[in-house]
Structure 1
Amino acid sequence: MKYDIVVIGGGIVGLATAYQTLKKKPSLKLALVEKETELCKHQTGNNSGVIHSGLYYKPGSLKARNCIGGYQMLLDFCSENEIPYELCGKVVVATDEFQKPLLENLYNRGLENGLDKISKLSMEALKEIEPHVNGIAALNVPYTGIIDYVAVAHKYAELIQAFGGDIFLGEKVTGIKQSTGLATVITEKQSFETSLVINCGGLYSDKLARQTSEEVDLKIIPFRGEYFKLKPEKEYLVKHLIYPVPDPNFPFLGVHFTRMINGGIEAGPNAVLAFRREGYKKSQIHLGELAESLMWPGFQKVAMKYWKTGFGEMYRSFSKAAFTKALQKLIPEIEENDLVDGGAGVRAQACDRTGGLLDDFAIIEANKAINVCNAPSPAATSSLSIGNTVSSLAIERF
């Protein structure tokens, strides 16, 4: 079959990109291919459902621009399409003295990013908002919210089809070939000829990108984030969202408490190396994929530099008591038996060859392809903005 554009990946970024492309230029013939038999089976379907404000991201970065722009686009889209969300707000809490200057940096960064409603909280004010939280300094971030991103993504899919786009499920891509005029996306079932490939392959985006360009020099390192849930009788301990001050050396936010739009409260996640790219359980191991991660020079440098942090994360993965202790820094009343097993997600974190965990989105253009190679959190919040950016690059080619 022949298409103008083939989008690879049925997560929220791929769907938003296809939707934004057809919204701008409905005359394009577009197909989206997804290897699973359902949409949103991986990062989108296993995230915490948080609407991020843009607090953490370097001003001017792709993350900052797309999160802040995508935030309002998302809220407008949900209002127009009657998708429930709640701007419940969150607090970011310092529990140690060394975190105070980091919290001050976060406050200033938020202001630089245009979040003029954030505020510093006195301990009395913190106790009014979150009476069970322990801390020595805190920020109130009223912009943050909660949502069901799978519902959002399915609405994107519905609108793609309304614009005349085709969605193919159960179509695992096995190869991308390029000729003078067209690219061919080959799946296990069929092939698609196209003028342009848009790769939103998430955990496998780097492998797909290498088939379109020799200049892709990064690797996706899968990090599993494991959650517990609070027992219903202990949910009163959390009123909003409660976050620690993040470690500035890592693109992870630390274990925190998250209210869910459909009810319940999650506690977590940690961040541990997954032993396969879609390794949602400790027992899921793919020796080839694990070896790829361990042998990547960039990951080796990260592991050597931050082995203590990595060991601590892994220890918490195997020790519920250690996980509970981390949560007790924020809410001392939490006890180990208050936590029941929750789910897990796997974050597709790009790592360059020199040892950097990419802190920004990465969009790599090739002759007949646009590759979205690093789109972890806050990609769901930013999805319409990322889709707008990528669709603009795509439409320029027609």
Structure 2
Amino acid sequence: MVHKKESINRKHFLKDVFICSLGAYGGPEAHYSVFIDQLVVKKKYLKEEELVELIALCSILPGPTSTQTIVSIGYKMGGPLLAFLTMLIWALPVLIIMTLLSFLYQFLNQNNISSTGLRFIGPMAVGFIIVAAFRIGRKVVTDKITILLLLFSAFITYFIREPWIFPIVLIIGGIVSIVTSNEKNLWTPVKLNPQWRYLVAFVIIAIGSIALTFIWDNRIIHLFESFYRYGYLVFGGGQVVVPVMHTELVQLNHYMTNAEFLTGYGLVQGLPGPMFSFSAYAGGMAARGSGTFVQVLGAAAGGIGIFLPGLLLIYFIFPIWNKLRNIKGIKISLKGINAVAGGLISVSAIILMQKSGFSLENILVTIATAGLLLTRKVPAPLLVLFVLILGFSF
């Protein structure tokens, strides 16, 4: 018997969310298996068909898909407050850890420990991205149109590494998918009763943060605007946001080196919880140089900025989902958007391989990582630990 909202014990539900966060490795697809096991099979908070519907809803929305899915379950069980607490329990532990890891390079320097011990983390991270590109590409390429969209987005974003190009190619992917679908009655009108305050807050924060960057030249404001923008422009899991982050934070603004970026992305693979928590590391690294407090603020700007849009969108969309899911055009556009996202991830793997260098040891670490991940015989945390030991031992 599925729990009703009125009978939910919040403490018990949040404890189950925490259990999910401890076992959630490897991105959205792996996270869903944890949700099914803990929330559907063991605790019966909802049916599997309901979970699949929520996954479909969150796949349509920009932002961290698995995070929005579990937040939606919290909303279903106990409304906005429980949804917010679900977000905290799910994301906060790993956000704190990634904030601490943003001080890793300073710690090594202060203790005269060479950072060369981290040298294999970058090539390992490239292996993770290659596998993500392969798995997502295999999933999203279903016909000639999706193949062309994947190749188109990879080609364009390889040569144009500006932040504005990513939302444009994603929008083009959705439009092409709709135009070529030959489906009829795509936009059947439905009667909605939305809670506009959440959408208004979403838009005001987006526009207001952009305006503030022109008025106030403050690193924390700029970081919040960047990460908030990532949160509402990127569809899918943490792998999808990597090329966008890398272009802006490393190539354009030079907030950190390629090696430092890949170190954080590699380390987050060994931690449970949402991969978007990488934003806390990236935000902290980008705010270095002005003291510990400012660096922590940078990490908070990254973590809050990237998760906030998805939370507001869930608050706005979830109550009207039962009606929105009947709009065929929304589902069809996702086919093209996902194909474009596959292209973004594929080209990011190529670019990051180039940046890491093609030394024999780097290539071997990347190939070994990809091979072990594809066999699924070595858990990600053990792989990260082994690469750290390897780096500091030789």
Q: TM-score, normalised by structure 2?
A: 0.26
Q: TM-score, normalised by structure 1?
A: 0.26
Higher helix residue share: 2
Higher strand residue share: 1
